Amino acid sequence: MMQASQGVGMVGTGSDTTVTGETSQVSEADIELGARLGDAMMGLGRQWASVAQQLAKVGIDKTSMLLISALDQIGPVRSNVLADAVYSDPSTISRQVAGLVKDGLIERRADPADGRASLLAVTEKAQVLLEARRHQRNCSLARMLAHWPDGDRERFVELLERFLVDHERAIPNFINEHAELMARSKGEN
C-alpha cells in the first residue's frame, strides 16, 4: 500500500485506491502508468543526453541550440523573456547569450519600445544552422519510425504533441511539488 505524504489523502482500498490532491484523484493504475511514462522519459532523456554529448564533441552545443531555437520561435525579445521561455535564470542566459553574440548566432537590437533596452534576435547564420539541424533531425526521426505503420506514426505524433502541451502547462506545478518534497525530506533529516 502506498504511503500518503503531507497534503495528499488516501481514498479507498485495494486496486481502486486513489491518491487525492488539491485538483484531482489519481488511481494506483494511473500511478503505475505514470511510472512507466516516467521511466520511458528518463530513458529518452539519457539517450538525448548521450546524443548531446557526442554532438558537443563536434561543436554543436545543446544549450546553444535550445536558446537559438527558442529565440527563433518567439522572435526578438528581451533576455528575461528568453530566460522565462527556457525556464532558466536571467543571469545564466546573459552569459550564454554573450557567447552566442560573439559567435554571430544572436544579435542585439535596439528595443523600439524602449531605446535603453535591447532585444535579442537570431542572425541569418543561426537560421541557416537551425534549418540544417532541423532537417537532419527530421530525417533521422523519419528513418527511425519508417518501419511503423502509417497510422501508428501519425497517432504517436498526435499523442506526443498533446502530451507536450499538457506537460508544459504542468511544469510550474511539477517544479513546486518537487521543491516541496525536497524541502520536506531535508526537514526530516
Q: Smallest Cα–Cα separation from 63: which of 34, 83, 40, 38? A: 83
pLDDT < 50: residue spans in the chain: 1-23
21-33 pLDDT tens trace: 444 688 999 999 9
Per-residue pLDDT tens over the stretch 103-120 = 999 999 999 988 888 999
| Total-model pTM | 0.68
Edge-to-edge strand ranges of the sheet holding 25-27 = 9-11, 18-20, 25-27
Q: Which domains does the chain have, with CATH numbers?
A: 1-59 (no CATH), 60-123 (1.10.10.10)
Tell me how far apart the alpha carbons of residues 41 and 167 are, in angstroms, rounded to a whole number: 12
